[in-house]
Structure 1
């Protein structure tokens, strides 16, 4: 019986370090039902923990084990089945997208995290499942974070008997345990298994001067030359198989081409797009020496036997999204230190090994400590749909390791509302539930469901499978890519399997054939990405998308560049670039564009200030694309006022006719606002623009151009801002003129911002008789006296007249009385008559 096989395996397990932690894990699960196991890669946790958990389960319940990738789920199932002496599908099985090997006696089932999410959404009680083991939770993929949160919710509400184990290869185990604590009554135990890797010697192999790992186009060919040269050097100096880490499939192919011609060595690829048999070949030790060129799939969740050498390019591909423009993409970044350590550890799993790092020791110190969790950087549309299907579109009540960033979550919600997947409150619709059953991005799910009606079920499935697998489009032409996979080739088999799987999800098998392949592909792309529908700009080769982003084909991709309308499947906008670069697209007509993006079609009256005048039009738009416009003869006054106000905010208040009196009043008001505060208003540019309706609103509605602006009475408009009844004291608090001791008046000069001290410029003789500096603003602010000679040249500046009379005046008197003998120079100016007249 299968349970006997599991029991025999545990009685005589392979010599793996994780064995020491299994008793503690069993105690933790019996006492709490939940546990976290922390163990470095290579300790055997994926191999021995699932059977250890299965041995605890009574009544034949199944143990489901998640893996982040299909290749890892299949490899783990094959490894454990071989230890039991069986084939996959008996005691141990696997279920991944497009491949299921499970039988009635299956006790341990390896699945991708996405498969588990589909099951949880269909039935959260997980009937027939006794335990779930979440492997590689440290990778912090969106599906893994969601699965963890959903399972915590399930244990806390409907399945307190469900055993739950989270396995991590990093030091964040305590944080994971704290998150799991919401599913049980006590603290979640952490079982820590130390690593037992063999020593790994590090060699630093930085590229030659001037060779960078990345540039604006991705990974430069010269850097791939360096990686290949490092591999050749490693092969010639160290024994054993070689595992080479590069960021993506394109780099895998590039390095393999550069390694062609190596004698007596097999060069193999390893990545998620390969057919299963080619993946198995890379994961099976052969008769000859091997070089396995891999993406990050081999970083932590796979064992590649025979490896003694690791060559690490030091690069990783991570999701990023421009939340404003909605252009998700995978970007190439430097690897984190923790990922670099995991990669190096692959060389020491079976014997001492070496790692050749294609960067310097100094660069290593500047690498990020850990990769960013996907929830912090990725597009959250699919994540948000999963939350909505669970009944919590914000995830506020779920035990997520990190909360989703509010801007990204809001963008995702708006996208789902536009797709009809959720309503304005965030509740999932029937359409959204149908989309959630499609194992693809919600935008592709929408394209599949609606595209089946427009172009036929089979062609819709063909295009969606093409988009989902990110098949390369030669010259940016997605139609050419479709014709290519139809003819066959490396990607054809997996694509055909995906087509059949997607077509089987459609309720009806329509077979509409009215459209050509070109327009059928474009229709499906437009349905998937209505924001990327684009029309060619007049007078140029670039395009404007419905979303408002500019886009252009590369100079080397001229085949579609002249089309008036296209649907863009993939575009990337690099920092500093004016337009996004179109990587793949298909032709559409205007009618297709209007149908696919009908939710953003609008007709509106637009009143703007442009070129020094009001421009009023009735405009029809498809998002940011202007379809037509006709002049509007009688625009609404409030729209005119708003347009002029916008023009003033852009071009400045200097557009208004500021009279000398208006400038003076504004300065006095600014002074009182600074000196006294409320109720005196702020009259700075920003404040006046913010409150423009309060002082200029009635005047702006009558403006049609710059000439009308020049007729506005700015002085009267400013007076509308004077606070009543305090305005009655304006001349008292901030007088325009001050009466001198001799009865004359002198003008007070106020500064432009209101923060400057007001200035009073008077001749010394006119100030005789003042014993102290005159003060304004209820006595709070002394005037800054500019005391002048009889010839009205500067003699002294003071804000403390009493001190000036008592001291510096004597020196000024001594210097000036001889120069101006006909003027009075009393010894005590406070007692003198301030006539300012000459002596007789």
Structure 2
């Protein structure tokens, strides 16, 4: 890494922005910021995607300088800050950097911004990069900007940082990465793939067995990659009795416990970590990695308004990063719990969060920056239009943006809270209802990613107040203290709201949760104790054995829906009463006349509802006619044209019109299902029964323009007269090829068939026994080239029927000749 520093300094000096690509273990996170601080007069801000990485990087740089953190090297993360006036290098989280950019776009006193681990593509990382590029372009051309990564797509980053057709320089550094042996250790038996949050217990048991094998076969500490805190707990329990210290490392742990996992121990260690240990962090002593091959990523269910984490197969880039942890201090080994063939099928890279996550907070940050939707900003990937639309509509509901997507004063107040806009709304609007302290306590519980057991939110709240888990309680109290400040700033005077303790805990928690997620207020379905309907219209169910079962109403804090399941699973909720639900979900509470198509017919009623939840319903004797017409049209759209009574005459007329449209085009009307559903007039019907009595023939004829109505029977006749005088029905089954089935003898003397729907009528010529002997749309050509063979074949079989040599001029006939008449 040191050899690359002069080139990096030159690149930043000449271009102002650069991309550094360096493999894990080269020291880019610590050596580069120190070098920049030595060359530049101002402060260097280093942005890391995670708090634990920010603290670790600051400690490492301070140790290299032989001084404590808080002097020349400092850090700032949510709820914790260690810096001083003399700090030259400050490590922050990307989220905190975004907050600072919003408050001070010029970044006064900052000479350089270093964005580490850009390949992880968190939403805050994308925002920080885009905002810094905007600052350099408009306010601070002297600001140095460096994007660093071990596996970044360097050319994309360089193009974005350079702009104007000139990419920023890319500096590549090599490192002394030691050899890492790959050991493929797939489970011995079948294992179910991850599904939602579920990971097959057989895989976790195999991971634990692989750890025991690695401890026996290799030296050094073992770093184990698992998707989440729950799996870490399961594997830790399976490792009871191993001759090593088993330490967890995940985002829910208190800072002290996270930092402890990053310190060498007195004896051998097994560190069970989530993806936060993939990069930025060096876990000292690790010579072995055991990788379950899974990641946990955010997913937004736009249709149901649910967001969740799901477990997926890790990408090849991620597992390569993980394996690199084993080779930082010497030769190592990685035990991969899958096969080499499966490895080749892994996705190359993780999807960026902007492609899959809830974009509500992201959209609000863009609006606060003055770039609604990201217009004019240098984003690595544009947000998906559907997800962005849902996010903006949510913000408009919260009053955070106006109709044009521009931020409002309320939107800025929500952003200042430093939590998701929905939780910020609950904090600000909940304070006058429940008191500042208790509103902050509930929001802190929802926002701090604390290790909570069970789905009873109130029980978890009381456990935190009692200090059952000292580390979790400490983190929670720090978050409460932080949140009380914006709650007071945005929600009235300090004594706003009832005195703490006036309202029961269930009511307080239910109001705050309901304010955050009014669409998740849920009422128990009739006949069940654990199934509910949420105000958004999605079904939800409680886990078996929950203490919440039987509650008439719930305020649902967390719910997700596994792929393939109809209903959501409730993960965290509060039991409430109807009055609390109505207070929290006020904007969703309506009482008015409703006319709709429901249960197969038009239903008219006076309905009181909370979103999709019907509270009361009374018959409506005289519904609005316009509403009835709309309901009938909706019923026809839902159930299709089968609601109409299709008589044979109606079906034939539709087929004739389809042929006219196919052969002649406009202005003949289209009569496919979609076109008829849009065009057919059903305004005279008020119910399903009246739809069935509709005159389909008249409705179809009404679609024909008046200037064509008189030509209908000529253009697409129902019957066609043939030379014998018979009138034979045309078959319009295939609109592209109207067909007439007729015996050969009845079209003698016909030089050519008539035109139907603008094209020659296809003739299906029959023998005297009504069997098809030829099909043609060119009768004149058939008489010359096809008829002789037909005549030769059939004259002996049907001797009593005429078979003239010149059928084009012979008289047509329906009858056979007499026995005494000689055969022509």
Give the aligned partner of residue 450 of structure 1.
429
2:696 corresponds, among 703, 714, 726, to 714
Q: How far did 1:72 drift?
A: 0.9
Give the aligned partner of residue 435 of structure 1.
414
Q: How far did 1:637 drift?
A: 2.7
> How far apart, CA to CA, are the structure 1 residues paired with 2:744 and 2:272?
91
2:200 corresponds, among 211, 220, 233, to 220
Sort the Cα spacing of 1:217 and 1:92 in 2 relative to 1 into closer, same or farther, 3 A.
Answer: closer
> How far apart, CA to CA, are the structure 1 residues paired with 2:451 and 2:260?
24
Are 1:537 and 2:515 matched, yes or no? Answer: no
Give the aligned partner of residue 673 of structure 2.
685
> How far apart, CA to CA, are the structure 2 residues paired with 1:389 and 1:187?
28
Sort the Cα spacing of 1:77 and 1:679 in 2 relative to 1 into closer, same or farther, 3 A.
Answer: same
Q: How far did 1:384 drift?
A: 0.8
> How far apart, CA to CA, are the structure 1 residues paired with 2:294 and 2:803?
86
Give the aligned partner of residue 802 of structure 1.
780
Q: How far did 1:237 drift?
A: 1.4
Give the aligned partner of residue 242 of structure 1.
222
Give the aligned partner of residue 326 of structure 1.
305
CA deviation vs aligned residue, 1:365-391 (integer Å, no higher than 9, x gap): 111111111111111111111111111
Sort the Cα spacing of 1:794 and 1:111 in 2 relative to 1 into closer, same or farther, 3 A.
Answer: closer
Are 1:278 and 2:260 matched, yes or no? Answer: no
2:68 corresponds, among 76, 87, 110, to 87
Assess if the C-alpha contact under 8 Å between 1:774 and 1:783 holds in 2: no
Assess if the C-alpha contact under 8 Å between 1:770 and 1:830 holds in 2: yes
Q: How far did 1:473 drift?
A: 4.6
State how 1:531-680 maps to structure 2 within 5 Å. Answer: 531-541=519-529, 542-557=531-546, 559-610=547-598, 613-680=601-668
> How far apart, CA to CA, are the structure 2 residues paired with 1:799 and 1:186?
66
Sort the Cα spacing of 1:839 and 1:100 in 2 relative to 1 into closer, same or farther, 3 A.
Answer: closer
Matched position secondary structure for 1:525: helix
Give the aligned partner of residue 178 of structure 1.
159
Q: How far did 1:765 drift?
A: 3.8
> How far apart, CA to CA, are the structure 2 residues paired with 1:352 and 1:124?
45
> How far apart, CA to CA, are the structure 2 residues paired with 1:702 and 1:245?
64
Are 1:773 and 2:753 matched, yes or no? Answer: yes
Sort the Cα spacing of 1:57 and 1:670 in 2 relative to 1 into closer, same or farther, 3 A.
Answer: same
> How far apart, CA to CA, are the structure 1 residues paired with 2:49 and 2:599?
57
State how 1:394-433 maps to structure 2 within 5 Å. Answer: 394-433=373-412
Give the aligned partner of residue 291 of structure 1.
270
Sort the Cα spacing of 1:128 and 1:755 in 2 relative to 1 into closer, same or farther, 3 A.
Answer: same
Are 1:41 and 2:27 matched, yes or no? Answer: no
Give the aligned partner of residue 372 of structure 2.
393
State how 1:182-193 maps to structure 2 within 5 Å. Answer: 182=163, 187-193=167-173
> How far apart, CA to CA, are the structure 1 residues paired with 2:263 and 2:815?
113
State how 1:191-230 maps to structure 2 within 5 Å. Answer: 191-212=171-192, 214-215=194-195, 218-230=198-210
Sort the Cα spacing of 1:284 and 1:659 in 2 relative to 1 into closer, same or farther, 3 A.
Answer: closer
Assess if the C-alpha contact under 8 Å between 1:648 and 1:655 holds in 2: yes
Assess if the C-alpha contact under 8 Å between 2:73 and 2:90 holds in 1: yes
> How far apart, CA to CA, are the structure 2 residues paired with 1:547 and 1:279?
38
1:127 corresponds, among 103, 108, 116, to 108
> How far apart, CA to CA, are the structure 2 residues paired with 1:252 and 1:431?
40
> How far apart, CA to CA, are the structure 2 residues paired with 1:21 and 1:794?
86
Give the aligned partner of residue 26 of structure 1.
9
* Deviates most, 711-720 or 225-234: 711-720
Give the aligned partner of residue 337 of structure 2.
358
> How far apart, CA to CA, are the structure 1 residues paired with 2:786 and 2:811?
20
Give the aligned partner of residue 494 of structure 1.
475
Where do 5+ consecutive residues of structure 2 fail to align?
Answer: 819-824
Matched position secondary structure for 1:379: coil
2:239 corresponds, among 241, 246, 259, to 259
Sort the Cα spacing of 1:586 and 1:828 in 2 relative to 1 into closer, same or farther, 3 A.
Answer: same
Q: How far did 1:740 drift?
A: 2.9
CA deviation vs aligned residue, 1:784-835 (integer Å, no higher than 9, x gap): 143352x766665544433444466556556766776665554433333335
> How far apart, CA to CA, are the structure 2 residues paired with 1:807 and 1:85?
104
Are 1:478 and 2:461 matched, yes or no? Answer: no
Give the aligned partner of residue 145 of structure 1.
126
Give the aligned partner of residue 821 of structure 2.
none
* Deviates most, 333-342 or 607-616: 607-616
What TM-score, normalized to structure 2?
0.94
Q: How far did 1:232 drift?
A: 1.3
What TM-score, normalized to structure 1?
0.92
1:833 corresponds, among 811, 821, 824, to 811
Give the aligned partner of residue 343 of structure 1.
322
Give the aligned partner of residue 724 of structure 1.
706
> How far apart, CA to CA, are the structure 2 residues paired with 1:267 and 1:614?
64
* Deviates most, 217-226 or 63-72: 217-226
Matched position secondary structure for 1:394: helix
Sort the Cα spacing of 1:746 and 1:131 in 2 relative to 1 into closer, same or farther, 3 A.
Answer: same
Q: How far did 1:277 drift?
A: 2.6
Matched position secondary structure for 2:23: coil
Assess if the C-alpha contact under 8 Å between 1:132 and 1:162 holds in 2: yes
* Deviates most, 375-384 or 604-613: 604-613
Sort the Cα spacing of 1:117 and 1:215 in 2 relative to 1 into closer, same or farther, 3 A.
Answer: closer
Assess if the C-alpha contact under 8 Å between 1:550 and 1:579 holds in 2: yes
Sort the Cα spacing of 1:766 and 1:285 in 2 relative to 1 into closer, same or farther, 3 A.
Answer: closer
> How far apart, CA to CA, are the structure 2 residues paired with 1:210 and 1:365?
19
Q: How far did 1:324 drift?
A: 1.1
The root-mean-square deviation of aligned C-alpha atoms, in Å, is: 2.3
Assess if the C-alpha contact under 8 Å between 1:737 and 1:745 holds in 2: no
> How far apart, CA to CA, are the structure 2 residues paired with 1:26 and 1:475?
53
Sort the Cα spacing of 1:69 and 1:651 in 2 relative to 1 into closer, same or farther, 3 A.
Answer: closer
Sort the Cα spacing of 1:612 and 1:39 in 2 relative to 1 into closer, same or farther, 3 A.
Answer: closer
Give the aligned partner of residue 37 of structure 2.
54
CA deviation vs aligned residue, 1:269-322 (integer Å, no higher than 9, x gap): 222332333223221212222222212221111111111111112111111111
* Deviates most, 611-620 or 403-412: 611-620
CA deviation vs aligned residue, 1:382-404 (integer Å, no higher than 9, x gap): 11111111111200211011111
Give the aligned partner of residue 6 of structure 1.
none
* Deviates most, 483-492 or 803-812: 803-812
> How far apart, CA to CA, are the structure 2 residues paired with 1:804 and 1:425?
69
Give the aligned partner of residue 15 of structure 1.
none
Matched position secondary structure for 1:404: coil
Q: How far did 1:705 drift?
A: 4.0
> How far apart, CA to CA, are the structure 1 residues paired with 2:287 and 2:228?
22
> How far apart, CA to CA, are the structure 1 residues paired with 2:173 and 2:25?
11
1:372 corresponds, among 338, 351, 361, to 351
Sort the Cα spacing of 1:391 and 1:812 in 2 relative to 1 into closer, same or farther, 3 A.
Answer: closer
Sort the Cα spacing of 1:373 and 1:224 in 2 relative to 1 into closer, same or farther, 3 A.
Answer: same
> How far apart, CA to CA, are the structure 1 residues paired with 2:197 and 2:114?
40
Sort the Cα spacing of 1:810 and 1:305 in 2 relative to 1 into closer, same or farther, 3 A.
Answer: closer
Q: How far did 1:663 drift?
A: 2.9
Assess if the C-alpha contact under 8 Å between 1:73 and 1:94 holds in 2: yes
Sort the Cα spacing of 1:592 and 1:818 in 2 relative to 1 into closer, same or farther, 3 A.
Answer: same
Sort the Cα spacing of 1:107 and 1:770 in 2 relative to 1 into closer, same or farther, 3 A.
Answer: same
Give the aligned partner of residue 7 of structure 1.
none
Assess if the C-alpha contact under 8 Å between 2:717 and 2:730 holds in 1: no
Q: How far did 1:737 drift?
A: 3.0
Assess if the C-alpha contact under 8 Å between 1:473 and 1:480 holds in 2: no
